[in-house]
């Protein structure tokens, strides 16, 4: 079950379960020991990150485009769904607000597979 969404800069806790980084690029200053698995193909495409952070698209536009970016990534989505069936999974990226982050969209996509 995907129960937790955190910033990769938050301190790891035993309740995190498997910590999975879902970013296209590795975040600065983070050691590999803080992450159990890196699924970079499920991160936000770079162009979409620039548009969202630059205020060029709305959250609704971001949501639609991120959903489109998952097309063809069914194998990775199934793998993440399988990890979440085995135990607790924490999705990690650099964004602090889980409500305005692709992690919440990814979590919803995984829950639809289960």
Q: What digits encode the pLDDT tens for the residues 45-72?
A: 999 999 999 999 999 999 999 999 999 9
- Look at residue 52 and tell me if it is in a domain: no
- Look at residue 89 and tell me if it is in a domain: yes
Count: domains in the chain = 1
Beta bridge partners of 20: 37, 91
- The mean pLDDT value for 6-16 works out to 92
pTM (predicted TM-score):
0.91
- Look at residue 14 and tell me if it is in a domain: yes
**In terms of residue numbers, what domain contains 28?**
2-43+73-113
**9: pLDDT strictly greater than 90:** yes
Torsions phi, psi of 43, nearest 5? -75, 170
- What is the CA angle 49-62-26, rounded to 5? 30
């Amino acid at each position: 079950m995907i129960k937790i969404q955190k910033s990769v800069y938050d301190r790891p806790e035993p309740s995190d379960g498997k910590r999975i980084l879902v970013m296209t690029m590795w975040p600065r200053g983070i050691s590999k020991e803080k992450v159990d698995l890196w699924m970079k193909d499920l991160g936000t495409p770079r162009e979409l990150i620039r548009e969202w952070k630059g205020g060029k698209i709305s959250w609704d536009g971001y949501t639609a485009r991120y959903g489109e970016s998952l097309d063809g990534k069914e194998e990775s989505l199934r793998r993440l769904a399988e990890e979440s069936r085995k135990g607790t999974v924490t999705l990690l990226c650099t964004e602090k607000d889980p409500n305005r982050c692709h992690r919440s969209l990814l979590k919803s996509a995984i829950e639809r597979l289960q």
